[in-house]
Amino acid sequence: MSFERVAIIGLGLLGGSIGLAVQDRLPGVATTGWDRDPATRARAAERGLVGTVCETGAEAVAQADLVIFCVPVGAIGEVAGELASAIPAGAVISDVGSSKQSVAEALAKALPGHTVIPAHPVAGTERSGPDAGFASLFLGRWCIVTPPEGADAAKVAALSAFWEGLGAKVELMDAQHHDLVLAVTSHLPHLIAYTIVGTASDLEGVTQSEVIKYSAGGFRDFTRIAASDPTMWRDVFLTNKDAVLEMLQRFSEDLTALQRAIRWGDGDTLFDLFTRTRAIRRSIIAEGQDDARPDFGRSDHAG
């Protein structure tokens, strides 16, 4: 099977990028979209993020065979519940959230009897809103699909093919394992970035703007991450609480060991750690998941 009519609920960075990518790479697929915010709907129409921007969510999903929720994970159950009666019985329901167990549970509860196949495109920038989306966001990036046990194989394959059509590489994964992996690779780094930038903000008054004025490259990278959408990340930490806390405990233990090495002048331990982490950076570049150029080769679009 393949999808002919895709409804996108939420027209920010990811929803808008999906709409633009479909138009760019899957021109035979019709798209509708809706967002709760009237200003967002108006701007989405101006930019042509989807084929038709609808005035109601029910109108957007009425004829869809794939519905993708692109709203903060904390709101997904409520939004899905509001649209439950309008979604066609045979439609596949998916999402783009960064935590998967909680999303699967919320969608299954809100949409009993529907086929729910959660997904997470591991792509994005610190920008948000209808002006943030761009068609090439998913090119060469991973999309992790987390089908529940017993999911229809043909529908899982169709959703995988949809994301591959947008330029992504697809991996199937258990939802619990996804949440643990992303706690390490995404959620914890964001938590650290928010903390470091918050600490600098507290110090900034004492140092009379020197923290801001003399920001080095490392701090600037943290501020880029810490500029991410606060609603989305609040919900991510609350919905993936167990995995984040587990990884945060591991990080705290490693940080204590690093403090000990610095206090006792243990240069060998520091050098060994920095050598190992440098190799990980090189591996990420070799996998095509980042760029070795200065400033990571980031364009204006990618932030």
pLDDT score recorded for residue 123: 85
- The DSSP output letter for 191 is H
Q: What is the mean pLDDT of residues 88-101?
A: 93
The CATH number assigned to the domain with range 5-173 reads 3.40.50.720
pLDDT digits (tens, 9 = 90+) for 247-264: 889 889 999 999 999 999
Give the homologous superfamily in CATH for domain 177-264. Answer: 6-phosphogluconate dehydrogenase C-terminal like domain (1.10.3660.10)
CA-to-CA dists, residue 6 to 3, 65, 121, 172, 293, angstroms: 7, 6, 16, 21, 37
183 pLDDT above the threshold of 50: yes
The full set of domain ranges for the chain reads 5-173, 177-264
Q: Give the residue ranges of DSSP H helices in 66-187.
A: 76-83, 101-110, 153-165, 175-182
Q: Band of the pLDDT at 54, cuts 50, 70, 90? A: very high
pLDDT score recorded for residue 301: 42
pTM as predicted: 0.81
pLDDT digits (tens, 9 = 90+) for 13-24: 999 999 999 999
pLDDT score recorded for residue 185: 80
pLDDT score recorded for residue 302: 40
pLDDT digits (tens, 9 = 90+) for 56-78: 999 999 999 999 999 988 899 99
- Cβ atoms of 133 and 301 closer than 8 Å: no
